[in-house]
Structure 1
Amino acid sequence: MGIKGLTKLLADNAPASMKENKFESYFGRKIAVDASMSIYQFLIVVGRSGAEMLTNEAGEVTSHLQGMFSRTIRLLEAGMKPVYVFDGKPPEMKNQELKKRLSKRAEAQEGLSEAIEADNKEDIEKFSKRTVKVTKQHNDDCKKLLRLMGVPVVEAPSEAEAQCAALCKAGKVYAVASEDMDSLTFGAPKFLRHLMDPSSKKVPVMEFDIAKILEGLDLTMDQFIDLCILSGCDYCDNIRGIGGLTALKLIRQHGSIETILENLSKERYQIPEDWPYQEARQLFKEPLVSTDDEELNLKWSPPDEEGLITFLVNENGFSSDRVTRAIEKIKAAKNKSSQGRLESFFKPTANPSVPIKRKETPGNDAKGANKKTKASGGKKKK
């Protein structure tokens, strides 16, 4: 879920913290990518038709592999150096949110069964997407694929967004790429939305700068975290009736959640019983992340050509010719990216990025992804 309404709040109250860049402008940049978010998008759209999905000969879904393979090649061809970060064990405070998601999937499954029985194609499409869940097998498949491609993988001890932010704060990557805005709440210095969108959507990359966010909102980092908790996050309920704009006004007026609670009208607002906002705050301020330099020694290496052909062609039914051509693209891209960014050799020029308008860019629901992908000859699975 991320942070409710944060993009619009920033567009309206700290527009200088957001800018639109061309995809190609990240040439030479190391980018930490939230892997689970990307896999979820691929499972929803790649090769999907109604409730049917791409599968290999064994009937195993391959949409995530196809999406990860083609989208990563696109990043590499643009001269970027992606590192994919995978979720570990979720914090206990997220259990309530996970239960809500499980309940929603169960409801969607019931709706899907009724839609199939009624042969309602529109509802079949809608409910089938709502039943999607990223499994351990999906994650393991993508980790294997990325390592064979020579792209580094980081397995976070807990939340991927927190680990991405830690990599960025440590200077190991330029920015974090995800669609969940809570990467900013974890303190990521730079955050990118829409980087993983397909080229067919023609949506510019939206870059956020945490220092400019704090300056624009006139808040400290601690106050920004409190603002996000009040707006609505994954770790605890928010106070009903308090959205982002009201939360911002209250934080500016009172400075912290504690002082807000002391002055909040109990008749007008119902504060959740045993509200664990302090624990949520602590999770954002000091999340469980890996700081082991050896473990986080990010290396981009040449692709394992034989391994890729075995895994993709022999085991998962991808087209041999297309995989072979893709491998050549990977090798050419990695040679290209080794040139580095021009600014490492010359003085930086003016940033060609376009300031964001005071209007929220539509969220990425991945509906525009290419459904006619070319990496796999997989079958459809109902």
Structure 2
Amino acid sequence: MGIKYLWPILSPFCERKPLYELQYKRVAVDLSCWVCESQNIAEYTVQPRMYLRNLYFRTCYLLLMDVHVVFVLEGRAPELKYKTIAARNAVQFKGAKPKTDRVKVGKDRSRFNHTLKQCEEMLKLMGIACVKGEGEAEALCAYLNEDGLVDGIISQDSDCFAYGARVVYRNFSISQQGNHAAKGGSVDVYDIAKANESLDFGRNKIIALALLCGSDYCDGVHGIGKESVVKLFNVVSEDEILKRLRSWKDRASYYGKLEAKIGDKSLCTLCGHSGRAQGHTKKGCLECGTSQGCDSGKFENERLEIKNELNMRSKALADPSFPDEELVNEFLVKKSNVSELNLEWTKPDLINFVKFTVKYLTWEEIYSFEKFFPILTRWQLLHQDQIKDETQGIVTPKFIKKRRNPKGIASYEVVWEDKNNQFKGLIPEEQLAEFGDVEKLWSTVEPQNLVENAYPVLVEEFEDSKKPKNRKKKKNPVDEIDNLLKNVSITGPSKSKKSKKLHTLDDFVVKASTPKKVVQNCSFCLDQSNFGDENDLDVSDIVDKIIDKKVPPYVPENLGKLGLKLTDEECNIDCSFFVDEMVENDLFEKTFREYCISSGEFDSDENTAVTNK
């Protein structure tokens, strides 16, 4: 389709890129190309109207990839294309006679336009914009691209460049197979600016190529191939090429002189001066200023170029209408002027889409719902400002099921619900029963950023539910003891006047619930687990342990809290848990002595203990 040999000429400037590089771009799609591709596939009884099926899944891919897309439909075909259209009708519709549309029978697109109408109807149900031009769809696509309203064109038709297109995306594929670059879909990107910069190859030379080699509008010149045309393009500039082709007919005398010069046997074929090449080789050329040989660098190449152009000219002028100015005007004269383009994605119609696919694609209702539902939910996430005042055709997120990461994109699996019951009865009960997992039917996977922007409360609830529950952290006895001993010196009795923390017996005793390992590893702890049912020997051991502990002295600050005051001399007295000497008139000592005498433990006169027998 398009201009013969153009794709091979542009192939050095083609880049195969993954489809995700089209994200956020504005793209015009030549709808007729996608339909033609699908109609060249034999119809299957399992899936009739393959063009609708392929169109749907390709469009879904673009929408879910955030590509701003507009589909361009064919207008009235130019008469130049009638012959090509008739040949295509014979292939696409298997020889069926097209309907009459007040033009030549068999050479119009009435049957094809009926197919495009079905595609347009489905696209509108999906909320996609469609535009129609005065003539060819690729022409309007090119105008949109040339005027900067779209970033590129998805088309198989190389005519786009002749109409003024800048970037064309060819061989569009959503296949998951192929090399690494093609995984997840790929496309060939042709940028005419690169060819123009490297080869001085632009729109005018593309039109010249159509005139010489052929296109959808003409068969070209018989006997002229790609190599001859490329040689001509190498010596004629982009701006001059169309004038040069017109001059073939207008400047007959000039080309007559060139033919005479090339055919003159008296001129050297190497340098172009008088004499033969053989004689110049032996004796040299006077005009070249050589005694042997001649300067063959310039005229030899020039002679080959002139011969190539003269040969092309003679073949082209065999057609008296060459060059076809009608064809030139078809490409250069704009037929549609679009000042602005609305690429807004409108709300998809789920209910009518299901009915449409049941009728034209013979899909089951549940299959159609399952395939279309992600389109509706994605539109909602992107158009929150438009759904605030709407309820018809809108679903509500019920909860976020889990996090997902398809193709490395952080996403949520969202479960939706139909609060208004507007889709009730759309799917037959027997299909729902066979499907089984209804929650799966109402689930979609959406990018996290879209869900966060649209439903921040829902995301917050989900993330909170995933946080670990706040459990009371068990206190570590060792940590408690470390806190107790913080900033405390336990190196033993000190006579320093500096403040020391006052310790009581409780400071040295650890609760019975404390693990024995902790107690054994602590040099400051006493095990309380045996307190209460100990015998005399146990008590003696406990007392010994207490005595072994180096207890800091009492300090004035702590006694001050009790209303007591010590003198400076008293502050320097070491204090321990037991007194080292007897204190006169001590009530405890007096009572303890009387008890020992009465029980026979001490002798009343000697104040000594009685020996046990």
TM over 0.5: yes
Render the CA deviation track for 1:92-137: whole Å, top value 9, x for unaligned: 222233344456679x759xxxxxxxxxxxxxxxxxxxxxx96222
2:113 pairs with one of 114, 132, 136? 136
Q: Give the 5 Å matches for 1:338-349.
A: none
Q: Which residue identity does 2:204 align to in structure 1? A: D
Aligned counterpart, 1:169: 146
Aligned counterpart, 1:236: 218
Confirm whether residue 304 of structure 1 aligns to residue 349 of structure 2. Answer: yes
Say whether the 8 Å CA contact 2:30–2:154 is kept in structure 1: yes
Aligned counterpart, 1:67: 54
The 1:273/1:80 distance shift into structure 2, 3 A limit, reads same
- Following superposition, the deviation at residue 146 of structure 1 comes to 0.2
Say whether the 8 Å CA contact 1:157–1:290 is kept in structure 2: no
Aligned counterpart, 2:28: 32
The 1:178/1:54 distance shift into structure 2, 3 A limit, reads farther
Aligned counterpart, 1:226: 208
- Following superposition, the deviation at residue 331 of structure 1 comes to 3.1
The 1:64/1:223 distance shift into structure 2, 3 A limit, reads closer
CA RMSD in angstroms comes to 3.0
User: Counterpart of 2:40 in 1: which secondary structure?
Assistant: helix
Aligned counterpart, 1:6: 6
The 1:336/1:242 distance shift into structure 2, 3 A limit, reads farther
Please report the TM-score for the alignment, with normalisation by the length of structure 1: 0.70
Q: Which residue identity does 2:210 align to in structure 1? A: C
Aligned counterpart, 2:83: 96
- Following superposition, the deviation at residue 280 of structure 1 comes to 1.0
Aligned counterpart, 1:367: none
Unmatched segments (≥5 aa) in structure 2: 97-109, 256-309, 384-613
Q: Give the 5 Å matches for 1:245-256.
A: 245-254=227-236, 255-256=241-242
Say whether the 8 Å CA contact 2:3–2:209 is kept in structure 1: no
**CA distance in 2 between partners of 1:191 and 1:25 (Å):** 14
Render the CA deviation track for 1:283-304: whole Å, top value 9, x for unaligned: 11114224253xx423211211
State the percentage of identical aligned residues.
26
The 1:220/1:186 distance shift into structure 2, 3 A limit, reads same
**CA distance in 2 between partners of 1:149 and 1:30 (Å):** 17
Confirm whether residue 209 of structure 1 aligns to residue 171 of structure 2. Answer: no
Aligned counterpart, 1:20: 16
- Following superposition, the deviation at residue 242 of structure 1 comes to 1.4
The 1:272/1:104 distance shift into structure 2, 3 A limit, reads farther
The 1:37/1:134 distance shift into structure 2, 3 A limit, reads farther
**CA distance in 2 between partners of 1:335 and 1:230 (Å):** 52
Say whether the 8 Å CA contact 2:29–2:141 is kept in structure 1: yes
The 1:105/1:143 distance shift into structure 2, 3 A limit, reads closer
- Following superposition, the deviation at residue 244 of structure 1 comes to 2.6
- Following superposition, the deviation at residue 316 of structure 1 comes to 4.4
**CA distance in 2 between partners of 1:80 and 1:292 (Å):** 21
**CA distance in 1 between partners of 2:334 and 2:135 (Å):** 8
Render the CA deviation track for 1:249-295: whole Å, top value 9, x for unaligned: 223434332235555336566632323522111111114224253xx
Confirm whether residue 282 of structure 1 aligns to residue 329 of structure 2. Answer: yes
- Following superposition, the deviation at residue 139 of structure 1 comes to 0.8
- Following superposition, the deviation at residue 337 of structure 1 comes to 7.3
Q: Which residue identity does 2:246 align to in structure 1? A: E
Structure whose CA Rg is larger: 2
- Following superposition, the deviation at residue 326 of structure 1 comes to 2.0
Larger displacement relative to structure 2 (34-43 or 329-338): 329-338
**CA distance in 2 between partners of 1:134 and 1:74 (Å):** 28
Render the CA deviation track for 1:43-93: whole Å, top value 9, x for unaligned: 333xx4xx64556xxxxx432221211121122222222211111111122
Aligned counterpart, 1:42: 38
Larger displacement relative to structure 2 (70-79 or 245-254): 245-254
Aligned counterpart, 1:375: none
- Following superposition, the deviation at residue 230 of structure 1 comes to 2.0
**CA distance in 1 between partners of 2:86 and 2:62 (Å):** 34
Confirm whether residue 182 of structure 1 aligns to residue 164 of structure 2. Answer: no
The 1:194/1:105 distance shift into structure 2, 3 A limit, reads closer
Confirm whether residue 147 of structure 1 aligns to residue 118 of structure 2. Answer: no
1:313 pairs with one of 331, 353, 358? 358
Aligned counterpart, 2:71: 84
Say whether the 8 Å CA contact 2:71–2:131 is kept in structure 1: yes
Please report the TM-score for the alignment, with normalisation by the length of structure 2: 0.45
- Following superposition, the deviation at residue 179 of structure 1 comes to 0.8
